[in-house]
Chains A and B, each alone.
Chain A
Amino acid sequence: MKLYSFNRRRIFIVFLFILGVGLFLSGRLAYLMIYKAEHYSALADSLHERERSIKAPRGKIYDRNGNILADNRAVCSISVVHSQIEDEEAVISALVSHLEIDEEKVRKKVEKVSSREIIAVNVEKSLADEIRKLNISGIKVDEDYKRYYPYGSLASKVLGFTGADNQGIVGIEVSYDSVLSGTDGSINAVTDAKGIELVEFSESRINPIPGDDLVTSIDLNIQRYATQAALKVKEEKNANRVCIMIMNPQNGEIYAMADVPEYDLNNPFELNYDAEVTEDNQMDLLNNMWRNFNISDTYEPGSTCKIITLTTALETGAVTEANTFFCPGYKIVEDRRIRCHKTTGHGSEDLVHALMNSCNPAFMEIGERAGADALYEYYRKLGLFDKTGIDLPGEGSSIMHNLEDVGPVELATMSFGQSFQITPIQFITAISTVINGGNKITPHIGTGVIDSENNTITPLEYPLIENAIKEETSEKVRGMLEKVVSEGSGNKAAIPGYRIGGKTATSEKLPRGTGRYISSFIGFAPADNPQVIAIILIDEPEGVYYGGTIAAPVVKEVFENILPYLGIEPEETSEVSTDETGE
């Protein structure tokens, strides 16, 4: 019985069929392994690779002289990986003994079937290293960074702090978050299906890129003086809060910004005063503590704002230095009798003396002559309608009458700084423009960014509007304000040998008649070429509340300390020599 040729042919057909399918499957393999290779190998890699992130350190914050205001401390986070635990008891006892935490809690987390449970964060590196050395499988120690503020509460409201993920929460930590935060790196280790790393495969590592450093205009020493002075007067006058800002009026660089009481940046969630804390009000209380009055809150500027009324009137030619005014102790506006702080009246006085006396009826007159339109135009030019654009989050807006609602009474009260509210930062910026020759500056904290990779500094630029007001007006006002300090109501700010300009204010808080005041003083030096401007606000002082009496001396004290420090030398005057010989 033999095999016929058709049988042979059929065997050959079967083989051809097999060959065809074999070729088809090879083609299918080629499709999967060449055309789709990238797709599947990427999926496979993501399956095999366990990414461990390497935290990037956040950029440091420097003061203007290179002192570190915000730094990083290496800390560790401890977690357990359930699938890698071999001896649960060993893991639990090691964690409990080293971290001093509740055994029940640890046990729960260790026994929980999850890919990863975090046991503790912000563990000191030395302690974490001890745990790492135990080499117990299942315990993972990951390095992290925690923000650290070497000076505690200093400049807390400016700097702000960061949250659990090192993200900025308030202050310049927020406004420069994108600059300061780095890019986390990662280690991609190849693991088997259980997640155990396979040492035979090289791990790919992407190094973290540290955040860029920020250089600020803050001067550590000036900030300290300012804070100390503020604390001292707060204590003396048992005030609610005391705000001080010290700035370069020429370019808007802020040397110091304090709003005492400050809070501990290293424990920002701890209230700095005793209060009934409930879950509902906790966040409000904390927000209130973190709030920076200097930029977020508004107040009636009071008499210091006479500077702006004066500037407006001088610019528009409504008054000149030759004008004289008469103060009987009040002024009747429509049906209202608005009193001067000196009820007996200042009598006849020229423009300079009206300012030196801070005479309300004279300024109502000046405001009336300038008119509401002009006053508003200059409010606008000096930035009282806009935010200053300072590089801090949470800047407040001013509260103003609508121009069409401004009647004679409103105009009169606005002329001496009442019936509208502005923020301290708006005010110091406006006055800087008035005294620096008329250039509208942008107040700011950040001055430069240091690139973490190539270490180069990129200066930060801010808008500047030149000649917002005339140079000669600025000069006139400076001169008059110098007189206020040397001979007028601001005389308690005078320092022998220095030419200081300034203006006091005492504003009664709303509602009126409750005896709550904000005493303030704004001063600058040298009066002929201002290099530094300072504003102080004392919120609800007890006892004597006149700005000239309690606020001006604080600025004097600060200036006494910082003027020489800033390289502003006293001029040789007879008073200095008298003092010297007197000793």
Chain B
Amino acid sequence: MRNDKVHDHVEPASDNLHVSGTIWTKGGYVDYPFVAMVLLIVFIGLIMVYSTSSYRGMDLFGDSTYFAKRQLIFALVAMAFAYMVSKMDYRIVAKYSGLILVISMILLILVYIIGTASHGSSRWLYIGPFGFQPSECAKVALIIYTAATCTVNTKSLNSIKGVAKIMFLPLIAIVLIAIENLSTAIICFAIVFIILFVASPKTWYFVVLAIIGVIGCVLFIAFAGYRADRIRIWLAPEKYPDGYQTMQSLYAIGSGGIFGRGLGNSIQKMGFIPESHNDMIFSVICEELGIFGAVCIIGLFIMFLKRCMVIAVNASDRLGGLLVSGVMAHIAVQLIINISVVTNTIPPTGVPLPFISYGGSSIVFILIEMGLIMSVARRMKFGR
């Protein structure tokens, strides 16, 4: 019933992104609860990176703060980016969404040609001394592109053909990512899927899309040999030597108990969990802070996501709502996958814990997304 009503409200597509003036906005509302929560999570992340990396830093570089210092610098740079983006008018940024996505796709292709192999897959690009993962950039590009396209082509959302048209470029980008990094591709797909879900008045083809997505994943896993191994590890990590990391993670989580060993007292980080400051950081959080600390952090994320929801719902326009929904989807999906992997709820895959895991690309692009949300929040109208 309601879906049919939508047609009445549709405005001429060409008008949608017609915003005049400069890209920089002045003043506006600052959503302090949101900013506070982001800063708190980033702060907790820095502490946990220090705690988890001090042993390794000492071992490799003779400096227990080696990784923590780097992460602090990344975080500060990322915050500067976030501030900058928050000052931009997202409506003008969205005008260039096609260009942004194409550039990020070129970067994705570039990474296969000149990328540096890390952990067996080529995922890194270097500009001078600064390396970054184009797939992280692609996530932001996909959020902006999908949100913008869904705002412009509202009508298309009513037909499969239209949706397919919207999905065309994002799907190419996702396939490009999937070649080397299935988990990031799944995250990207989930982001696009959720934005479409939020934007569309229809329900049924999301069911179809979801089924296609699941079948696609299953086929991919079945045909890609090393991913089939992961299923085997997932089912019985204790039986296989390559289930080592999963078992180590479970040891860490299981030995946390109610209140944990205390901050800084993890033993599993002493070389048992390889690179415990990266994807497996949540297991050390569990070990050190116990279920109490772990659930607190999950709760903090949920509160943060709820704030995202509030901003999305109260966004001054459709574009803003979809952008925030996309970012919210990104953070949520990555959080869920990370914790699921660490607890061996799903087959192992390398997904960083947003805001908290060590890594420059990850935190920079996530905080750029936070900037986008803040930019949307500036134009927020409460009470509609």
Contact residues in A for B286 (Cβ distance below 8 Å): 29, 32-33
Q: Which of B122-130, B221-229, B335-343 contacts A (4 or more CB under 8 A)?
A: B335-343
Contact residues in A for B151 (Cβ distance below 8 Å): 1
Indicate whether A44 sits within 8 Å of B198 (C-beta atoms), given known contacts A11-B321, A193-B272.
no
Contact residues in B for A12 (Cβ distance below 8 Å): 309, 313
CA distance A198 to B58 in the complex (A): 14
Q: Which of B78-86, B105-113, B287-295, B355-363 contacts A (4 or more CB under 8 A)?
A: B287-295
Q: Which of B34-42, B176-184, B253-261 contacts A (4 or more CB under 8 A)?
A: B253-261
Q: Which of A2-10, A457-465, A476-484, A503-511 contacts B (4 or more CB under 8 A)?
A: A2-10
Which of chain B's residues 171-196 have a Cβ closer than 8 Å to chain A? 194
- Interface membership of A26, Cβ < 8 A: yes
User: Are A32 and B343 touching (Cβ within 8 A)?
Assistant: yes
State the Cβ distance, B75 to closest chain A Cβ, in Å.
24
CA distance A26 to B340 in the complex (A): 10
User: Are B250 and A40 touching (Cβ within 8 A)?
Assistant: yes
State the Cβ distance, A84 to closest chain B Cβ, in Å.
14
- Interface membership of B332, Cβ < 8 A: yes
B196 — nearest CB in chain A belongs to which residue? A10
User: Are A48 and B318 touching (Cβ within 8 A)?
Assistant: no
Contact residues in A for B267 (Cβ distance below 8 Å): 44, 48, 190, 192, 198, 201
State the Cβ distance, A192 to closest chain B Cβ, in Å.
3
User: Are B6 and A4 touching (Cβ within 8 A)?
Assistant: yes
State the Cβ distance, A578 to closest chain B Cβ, in Å.
89
Indicate whether A10 sits within 8 Å of B197 (C-beta atoms), given known contacts A3-B321, A37-B257.
yes
User: Are A26 and B251 touching (Cβ within 8 A)?
Assistant: no
Chain B interface extent, by class: 35 or more
User: Are B55 and A192 touching (Cβ within 8 A)?
Assistant: yes
Indicate whether A14 sits within 8 Å of B325 (C-beta atoms), given known contacts A19-B302, A40-B250, A194-B271.
yes
- Interface membership of B132, Cβ < 8 A: no
CA distance A11 to B320 in the complex (A): 12
Contact residues in A for B315 (Cβ distance below 8 Å): 3
CA distance A19 to B305 in the complex (A): 9
CA distance A19 to B332 in the complex (A): 9
Contact residues in A for B26 (Cβ distance below 8 Å): none
- Interface membership of A28, Cβ < 8 A: yes
- Interface membership of B370, Cβ < 8 A: no
State the Cβ distance, B315 to closest chain A Cβ, in Å.
6
Contact residues in B for A3 (Cβ distance below 8 Å): 313, 315, 317-318, 320-321
CA distance A10 to B325 in the complex (A): 10
- Interface membership of B284, Cβ < 8 A: no
User: Are B254 and A39 touching (Cβ within 8 A)?
Assistant: yes
CA distance A116 to B94 in the complex (A): 64
| 30 CB-based A-B contacts, threshold 8 Å | A2-B316, A3-B317, A3-B320, A6-B6, A6-B201, A7-B322, A10-B197, A12-B309, A14-B329, A18-B305, A18-B332, A19-B302, A21-B332, A22-B298, A22-B335, A25-B339, A25-B345, A26-B295, A26-B298, A32-B343, A33-B256, A33-B290, A37-B255, A37-B257, A41-B254, A41-B257, A44-B251, A45-B255, A193-B272, A198-B270
Residues of A participating in the B interface, judged by any CB pair closer than 8 Å: 1-4, 6-8, 10-12, 14-15, 18-19, 21-22, 25-26, 28-30, 32-34, 36-37, 39-41, 43-45, 47-48, 190, 192-194, 198, 201
